[in-house]
Amino acid sequence: MWGAGGAARRRTETQGVRGMLDHLITGATVVDGTGAPAYKGDVGIRGGRIVAVGPAGSVREEAATTEDAEGLVLAPGFIDPHTHYDAQLHWDGYATPSVNHGVTTVIGGNCGFTLAPLRAEDADYTRRMMAKVEGMALPALENGIDWSWETFAEYLDRLDGRVGVNAAFMAGHCAIRRYVMGADAVGKEATPAQVEAMVAELGKAMRAGAIGFSTGRSNHTDGDGRPVPSRHAAPDEVLALCAEVGRHEGTQLEVIVAGCLDKFSDDEIDLLTRMTVTADRPVNWNVLTVDAAAPDRVPRQLHASEKAKEAGGRIVVLTLPVLVPMNMSLLNYCALNLLPGWGEILGLPVPERIKRLSDPATQAEMLRRANSDEAGVFRRLVDFGRYVIGDTYSAANEGLSGRVVADIAEERGKDDFATLVEICAADELRTVLWPMPTDNDPASWELRREVWQSEHVILGGSDAGAHLDRMCGATYTTRFLGDTLRGRKLVSLERAVQMLTSDPARLFGLKDRGRIAEGCHADLVLFDPERVNSGPARLVRDLPGDSPRLTAESEGVVSVRVNGVETVRDGRTTGALAGTVLRSGKDTYTVAADSVSF
C-alpha cells in the first residue's frame, strides 16, 4: 500500500547559495499531524523551519541537499509528554533511546521531581530520592552530573546548546519545598511565610522558563524511606502554588496522586479540580491503566475529568497505547514494593529478607494482602505463575532463564510464589523476573480504542529516563505505529500520528510544533511504514558509573530532524546537538483550562 518501503531513496547535494533550501524531501507520504488525509508531497526546510510544503513535484526551489522519500512516511517529530530525562540529559543530550524512536520533544520535571532549585547541601538527599522514586542509578547521578547549579535558571542554562532534542521542564514541588524548608520539608507543614517563599521560588522558576508546576501526592518515599516532601503539603499550599502558575504565560500543571494507580477518591477529584480551576490551566496525570478485567476503573478515572469540566477546569489523562514490559526483582526497589505490607519486608537487609521471604507464614500473609482490595491496581502483579525467569546468577538456577514459574513450580511440587522465592533466594535475590501482562486480551484492546476517543485522553506515560533497568517505555512511539500499520490497526495512520504530535503540542501550548506546515519548526520523522517498530529491550551498561539500563533499537526509522538538523539517520544518532531548551512564554503559549480537548 505504501510502495517499496523506500528502496529507491537517494540523497543528492548541491553547492550552497544564498536563499536556497537547506534540505528538500521529495515524494514522501506526508502525514501532517492534524489528522488530515495523507498525501504524496514535498517539504522544504530552511533555517530550522519548514518553508515549503506542497504536492509531490511542486517544490522546485534549489536545495543544498535533496532526499527522495518515495515509499516513506514523513511525520512531525513525536512529543513525549511524560519523561524524567532531567538527569540523563546531562550525560546523554540525545535522550536515548527516545530520539531513535522519533521523539523530538520531551517534557520533564514530572511528578513533583526536579533537580532545581537546589542548595549544595541538599544534593545528596536529591540524588538518593531520585534513585529511590524514579529508579535512576545512584552511581550515574553521582558521576554523570556536576550538581553545581542552584536556581532553576542555572539548571536550564546548563543544558543550553548541549541537547539533541527539544526539552521543556516543569518545576517540581519536592525541589521547591526542600529548597525553602530544608530538612523540615519532610514531616512538617509549611508556615504561611514558607508557603509565600515557595510561591516566590516557583515564580522565579517560571520566569526562567519552567513550563509549569508538578506535584506528587502518591506513595513515593525518599532515600530514607520517608514520604517525599510534596506529600507533606497541605491542600492550601498546593493551591497557592497553582495560583502562581496562572500568573505566567504558557504554563501547565501536572500531578500524581495515589488514585492515579487505580481509582481516584472523592477528595482527590476535588483537589485536582481545584488545582485546574485555581490556575485556569489543564492538569495532566499519568498513567491510566486499561484492563477489561477491571471495568469500573476507566469510568471512575474519566469521571474526574468530567467533574473538572463542569467546574470550568480540565483534567487530561495520559495513557499508553502499548504494553510496556517491566521486570521485577526481590532485591531492588520496584512495583512489588508498593504492594501493601511488602515494602517493609523488601526493605530489610538481604540475609534477613531471604529468611523472612522463605517463611511459609510470611509468604501466606504477603499473598493475602497482595490479593486484597487494598492492593488496588497492583493486584495485577500477583499472578506469580505467569512470571518468566530472566537472568540468573547461581548454579542452582542454571537452565531456568526463559522458563515460566508455573511450570517450574509443578515440577517441584510447590506453589508458584514459594517457587519464585526459592529461585530468587538461590541468587541472593538478584534474579530478574518478567511478569506477563494480564491485560493483553481482545477486550482490553477494544477498551483502549474506546478510551483513546475521549476528549480527555492523550497518549503518553513512557517515564523515559526513569526506572532505567526495570522498563523501557521510550519505544512506545514506534511500537504504536507498527501496531497501527501492521498489527491491530485500532486507529488510522493519520490519527495515530496526530496522537503522537499535535495532541501533546496543543496541550502544552508548544509554539509551531507538532505539525507539518509552513512556518513550523522542522522537527520531522521519516520512516518506512513496512518496517517501523521497536526491537526487543536489552540490558546495557552505558551509564556513568558503569550502571545498567534497558534500551531498544528502532526499526524502520530512516531520519529524525530536530529544528531542521538531521539528528538520527537509519536509527543512529549523527552527533548533531540541535535541540532547544524550551522556555515558557517564549516557546509556549497559554492554554486555558477550558480551551483544549482532543
Confirm whether 565 is domain-assigned.
no
Report the pLDDT value the prediction gives residue 8, as an integer from 0 to 100: 35
**What order of strands is seen across the sheet that includes strand 103-108?**
78-80, 103-108, 166-169
**83 and 175 share a domain?**
yes
Amino acid (one-letter) located at 452: W
Sign for the pseudo-dihedral over CA of 21, 26, 28, 30: positive
Sign for the pseudo-dihedral over CA of 122, 128, 131, 132: negative
- Let me know the angle formed at the C-alpha of 456 by 487 and 288, rounded to the nearest 5 degrees: 60
Percent with pLDDT over 90 in the chain: 91
Distances (CA, A) of 39 to 55, 76, 196, 547: 7, 14, 54, 45
Angle between helices 192-208 and 152-159 (to 10 degrees): 20
If you average pLDDT over every residue of the chain, what do you get?
Answer: 95
pLDDT tens per residue, range 180-227? 999 999 999 999 999 999 999 999 999 999 999 999 999 899 999 899
If DSSP codes are grouped into helix, strand and coil, which group holds residue 259? Answer: helix
**202 and 117 share a domain?**
yes
HEC sequence for 191-252 = CHHHHHHHHHHHHHHHHHCCCEEEEEECCCECCCCCECHHHHCCHHHHHHHHHHHCCCCCCE
Report the pLDDT value the prediction gives residue 553, as an integer from 0 to 100: 97
- Name the DSSP letter for residue 77: P
Confirm whether 53 is domain-assigned.
no
**113 and 140 share a domain?**
yes
If DSSP codes are grouped into helix, strand and coil, which group holds residue 490? Answer: coil
Percent with pLDDT over 70 in the chain: 97
**344 and 396 share a domain?**
yes
If DSSP codes are grouped into helix, strand and coil, which group holds residue 119? Answer: coil
| Peptide bond between residue 442 and the one before it cis (omega within 30 degrees of 0) | no
Exposed e or buried b per residue across 148-174, where buried means at least 16 C-beta atoms within 10 angstroms of its C-beta: ebebbbebbebbeeebbbbbbbbbbbb
Tell whether the model's pLDDT for residue 88 goes beyond 90: yes
**267 and 359 share a domain?**
no
- pLDDT level of residue 7 (50, 70, 90 thresholds): very low
If DSSP codes are grouped into helix, strand and coil, which group holds residue 412? Answer: helix
Q: 43 - beta bridge partners?
A: 25, 53
Last residue of a domain, one of 401, 434, 467: 434
Confirm whether 210 is domain-assigned.
yes
Distances (CA, A) of 128 to 87, 124, 270, 532, 592: 13, 6, 32, 38, 36
- The torsion angles phi and psi of 390, rounded to 5 degrees, stand at -95, -130
Confirm whether 305 is domain-assigned.
yes
If DSSP codes are grouped into helix, strand and coil, which group holds residue 125? Answer: helix
- The torsion angles phi and psi of 257, rounded to 5 degrees, stand at -125, 170
Distances (CA, A) of 87 to 131, 136, 474: 11, 9, 16
- The torsion angles phi and psi of 318, rounded to 5 degrees, stand at -100, 135
pLDDT tens per residue, range 294-304? 999 999 999 99
- The residues near 293 (Cβ < 8 Å, ≥ 6 apart) are 438, 439, 444
* Distance from chain centroid for Cα 375: 24
> Which residue from 26, 4, 28 is spatially nearest to 497, judged by alpha carbons?
28
**462 and 381 share a domain?**
no
Q: 319 - beta bridge partners?
A: 459
Runs of H (alpha helix) within 414-520: 416-426, 442-452, 476-486, 493-500, 502-508
- pLDDT level of residue 9 (50, 70, 90 thresholds): very low
List the beta strands (DSSP E) in 446-579: 457-459, 524-527, 533-534, 538-543, 547-551, 554-555, 557-562, 565-569, 572-573
Report the pLDDT value the prediction gives residue 379, as an integer from 0 to 100: 87
**263 and 363 share a domain?**
no
Confirm whether 560 is domain-assigned.
no
- pLDDT level of residue 597 (50, 70, 90 thresholds): confident
Parent domain of 379? 335-434
Last residue of a domain, one of 413, 448, 475: 475
Angle between helices 192-208 and 173-181 (to 10 degrees): 130
Report the pLDDT value the prediction gives residue 2, as an integer from 0 to 100: 39
Extract the C-alpha cell encoding 544: 556513568
Amino acid (one-letter) located at 220: H
- pLDDT level of residue 15 (50, 70, 90 thresholds): very low
Confirm whether 129 is domain-assigned.
yes
Q: Are 77 and 501 in contact (CB under 8 A)?
A: yes
Report the pLDDT value the prediction gives residue 11, as an integer from 0 to 100: 46
**375 and 252 share a domain?**
no
DSSP element (H, E) containing 43: strand 39-46
- pLDDT level of residue 378 (50, 70, 90 thresholds): confident
DSSP element (H, E) containing 475: none
- What would the mean pLDDT of 393-398 be, rounded to a whole number? 97
Extract the C-alpha cell encoding 18: 544564498
Weakest mean pLDDT among 12-16, 168-172, 261-265: 12-16
Confirm whether 552 is domain-assigned.
no
**298 and 164 share a domain?**
yes
- What would the mean pLDDT of 44-60 be, rounded to a whole number? 98
Domain of residue 239, CATH code: 3.20.20.140
Tell whether the model's pLDDT for residue 6 goes beyond 90: no
First to last CA, the chain: 29
CA distance 215 to 82: 13
Q: Are 87 and 465 in contact (CB under 8 A)?
A: yes
Confirm whether 41 is domain-assigned.
no
- The residues near 270 (Cβ < 8 Å, ≥ 6 apart) are none
| Overall number of domains in the chain | 2
Report the pLDDT value the prediction gives residue 42, as an integer from 0 to 100: 98
Q: Are 584 and 250 in contact (CB under 8 A)?
A: yes
What is 332-386 written as a DSSP string? Answer: S--GGGGSTTHHHHHTS-HHHHHHHHT-HHHHHHHHHHHTSGGGGGGGGG--GGG
* Distance from chain centroid for Cα 297: 22
- pLDDT level of residue 33 (50, 70, 90 thresholds): very high
- What would the mean pLDDT of 406-423 be, rounded to a whole number? 97
- What would the mean pLDDT of 268-284 be, rounded to a whole number? 98
pLDDT tens per residue, range 467-526? 999 999 999 999 999 999 999 999 999 999 999 999 999 999 999 999 999 999 999 999
Cα within 13 Å of Cα(90), Cβ side? 19
**284 and 371 share a domain?**
no
If DSSP codes are grouped into helix, strand and coil, which group holds residue 48? Answer: coil
CA distance 399 to 72: 43
Last residue of a domain, one of 376, 401, 434: 434
Instruction: Give the count of beta carbons closer than 10 Å to the beta carbon of residue 376.
Output: 18
If DSSP codes are grouped into helix, strand and coil, which group holds residue 55? Answer: strand
- pLDDT level of residue 19 (50, 70, 90 thresholds): confident
**315 and 360 share a domain?**
no
Tell whether the model's pLDDT for residue 13 goes beyond 80: no
Alpha-carbon Rg for the chain in angstroms:
24
**256 and 399 share a domain?**
no
> Which residue from 292, 272, 267 is spatially nearest to 282, judged by alpha carbons?
272
Is this model's pTM higher than 0.75 or not? yes
